[in-house]
Amino acid sequence: MTDTKRLLAVLKGERRERPPIWLMRQAGRYLPEYRELRAQKGGFLALATDPVAAAEVTLQPINRFGFDGAILFSDILMVPWALGQDLSFGAGEGPRLEPALVDTTLASLERVTARLEPVYATVRGVAAALSPETTFLGFAGSPWTVATYMVAGHGSRDQGETRRFAYNDRQAFAAIIDAITELTVEYLAKQIENGVEAVQLFDSWAGSLSPAQFERWVIAPNAAIVAKLKARCPQAVIIGFPKGAGGKLPAYARETGVDALGLDETVDPEWANTVVPEGMPVQGNLDPLALIAGGEALDGAIDRVLAAFRDRPHVFNLGHGIDQHTPIAHVERLLARVRGA
């Protein structure tokens, strides 16, 4: 099966002359067909919890571009929603979780795990529709990043409120991390059981932590997820994406047990190639703004990434999610260059 699924083969350690490609947030606002469907549904959460519509969104970039991987259309905050917080997406405001755990306790929340059922239904719908050569990727937020939203109730630039909470009440914060970890294992296992072939753990705010805190709140819970998920689903293939980890990347790669390592755009790919364990698949790490710039700037950035990872298993991707203002013609140019067309 992996012989025809180029992306899955590389994530399992094969090197290909031309790397497979998918893009984080490839199903989203830069596509007119996505904007049209979201407008019909009236909002993000209504779209994400409609299995038919969410499956359509997941497939839109595959139908348009033929990426090697389809990434499930959902959100990292589905887990706190299932843990009992109310989730909303205000126009221009970003996501909100209520009540924020800085103001209440985890024990006061009542779990509603049925809120995850539409996601599993979406997975089944996409799995039934995907072509045999396309790898189906699921995902979840990593515990630290999810906890930053649960504690503060919203996103922030430096996650200061959550970092202070973790220092001031380590026991309470550990309980939050443990609850996220436990449900994330269940959530990812059910994605796999319903048709997903590989999963990615997004730690979007990993870069805000000191080395000791990174070890405790990023490496340790991600290692727990990997170990428990592989015990339940031995076939699980897991990509870890600790955005902003920088010099802590080698420790993350060695200690979490992930199968592949996602690199953000701030990482020097040549440096990463020397410090990441030999033979470990890497994913990334084109700057999303280079994709917006296009032209020679884009071509040069693509070539630098390709050259850095030419001798190891490599999945071409961005260093973070595709920006909503990205021209579709630039995505087409990216695909042609990576594929050697």
Task: Give phi and psi for 298, each to the nearest 5.
Answer: -65, -45
Q: Catalytic residue at 25?
A: yes
In 3D space, the residue among 71, 213, 199, 93 whose CA is nearest the CA of residue 154 turns out to be 93
Give me the catalytic one of 6, 30, 68, 149.
149
Give me the catalytic one of 15, 50, 75, 232.
75
Q: Catalytic residue at 75?
A: yes
Give me the catalytic one of 15, 29, 115, 337.
29
Give me the catalytic one of 38, 163, 216, 312.
38
Task: Give phi and psi for 127, each to the nearest 5.
Answer: -60, -35
The dihedral over CA atoms of 77, 82, 88, 93, expressed in degrees to the nearest 10, equals -20
> Does an H or E element contain 104, and which?
none
Q: Catalytic residue at 111?
A: no
Q: Compute the distance between CA of residue 9 and CA of residue 307 in angstroms, rounded to an integer.
A: 20
Going along the chain, which residue ranges are E strands?
69-71, 86-90, 94-98, 135-141, 198-203, 238-242, 260-262, 282-286, 314-318
Q: What's the CA angle centered on 149, arms 49 and 326, to 5 degrees? A: 65
Q: What's the CA angle centered on 9, arms 338 and 224, to 5 degrees? A: 110
Structure tokens at 106: 């985890």
Q: Catalytic residue at 149?
A: yes
CB 320 within 8 A of CB 243: yes
Q: What is the CA radius of gyration of the chain?
A: 19
CB 285 within 8 A of CB 318: yes
Q: Catalytic residue at 304?
A: no
Which active-site residues does the annotation give? 25, 29, 38, 75, 149
